[in-house]
Amino acid sequence: MKITKKQNVIISNRETRDFLADAFYPETENKLPLVIFVHGYKGYKDWGAWNLMAEKLAEAGFFFVKFNFSHNGTTLDDPDNFGDLQAFGNNNYSKELSDLGAVIEYFIKDSKVDDQKIILIGHSRGGGISIIKTFEDERINGLITLASVDSLDRFPQKDNLENWRNAGVYYVLNGRTQQEMPHYYQFYQDFKQNEHRFDVERAAEMAKAHVLIIHGTNDESVEVKNAEHLHILNPNSELFLIENANHTFGAKEPWTENELPEDLNKVVKKCIDFLYRKM
């Protein structure tokens, strides 16, 4: 089966700024379910083995899209590195939800897409964003979370929060790139101003889509209890735990092999099985 790859498509969003997206899909006369992958914190669309995952979902008969959030620190000219730390520092949840909305609006207009079948796959913080968007946009009828958070209230505790407010910025070391990644205080202000909207628990309870929750039991970044909590909040969801899998299901950056890591391959197979059954 021939797979078409349209990479580094420019998406415009007047509320944020231009950013890049990729689309992978099989050559067929049939309209295809739209699957949109939402990356997480310090992530980007071409990180690790995401391209291999995209190919597998396309081969399975889906119109698979992945994208860079407009303020994830990458640029149009350099989508694989954090070359714009000012943008990274000025990111917030409102911008991410706006960008995801722009991606949906762009690709549902594609003639190859079945606009009655829209699925989000969110990794880590992208899982929390995807849960909120699924609740807000009833066109989304499928949701898969990968190592997702169960809350977006993941900020410094009280004393450090006061320091952040006074300084206006705090930094987090990126262990892979050794960059000091800035977070400006506007990020927290945006959260507090929209706290009800950003309530992942409420959104998880009320989302009407088919939901699959996938998590590794050895996740070093987001504890597995986050997945168990999401499952309790949405009892109609499916919970799939992968024994000893880590936060990225065995993938790393760079990923130089031609095959998916074993745990991420289990993830992809489970996603395809779920989508065949539910969509």
Q: What is the pLDDT of residue 45?
A: 98
User: Is 166 among the domain residues?
Assistant: no
Q: What is the mean pLDDT of residues 21-37?
A: 98
Q: What is the pLDDT of residue 158?
A: 85
Sign of CA dihedral 135, 137, 139, 145: negative
What are the φ/ψ torsions at residue 150 (nearest 5 degrees)? -105, 5
Q: What is the pLDDT of residue 85?
A: 98
C-alpha 223/C-alpha 215 separation (Å) is 9
Q: What is the mean pLDDT of residues 256-268?
A: 98
Q: What is the mean pLDDT of residues 164-185?
A: 97
pLDDT tens for each residue of 185-212: 999 999 999 999 999 999 999 999 999 9
User: Is 184 among the domain residues?
Assistant: no
Q: What is the pTM of this model?
A: 0.99
Q: What is the pLDDT of residue 78?
A: 98
The total domain count for the chain is 1
Sign of CA dihedral 81, 257, 126, 272: positive
Q: What is the mean pLDDT of residues 220-232?
A: 98
User: Average per-residue pLDDT in the chain?
Assistant: 98
Using pLDDT thresholds of 50, 70 and 90, give the confidence band for residue 38. Answer: very high
Reference 186, options 121, 91, 252, 79; nearest CA is: 91
Using pLDDT thresholds of 50, 70 and 90, give the confidence band for residue 225. Answer: very high
Bridge partner list, 100: none
Which residues have a Cβ under 8 Å from the Cβ of 9 and sit 6 or more positions away?
Answer: 20, 21, 22, 23
- Using an 8 Å Cβ cutoff, are 110 and 20 in contact? no
User: Is 205 among the domain residues?
Assistant: yes
User: Is 186 among the domain residues?
Assistant: no
Torsion angle, alpha carbons of 219, 221, 223, 229, to 10: -120
Can you give the three-state secondary structure of 96-107, one letter per residue? HHHHHHHHHHHH
C-alpha 121/C-alpha 145 separation (Å) is 6
What percent of the chain lies above the pLDDT cut of 90?
A: 99
pLDDT of 48 over the 90 cut: yes
**CATH number, domain at 121?**
3.40.50.1820
Using pLDDT thresholds of 50, 70 and 90, give the confidence band for residue 12. Answer: very high
pLDDT of 1 over the 90 cut: no
> b or e along 105-121 (b: 16 or more beta carbons within 10 Å of the residue's beta carbon)?
ebbbebebbbeebbbbb
Which residues have a Cβ under 8 Å from the Cβ of 236 and sit 6 or more positions away?
Answer: 211
Q: What is the pLDDT of residue 73?
A: 98
In whole angstroms, what separates CA 158 from the centre of its chain? Answer: 28
Q: What is the mean pLDDT of residues 167-194?
A: 97
User: Is 131 among the domain residues?
Assistant: yes
pLDDT tens for each residue of 99-119: 999 999 999 999 999 999 999
The domain of 48 spans 3-152+195-278
| Amino acid, res. 51 | N
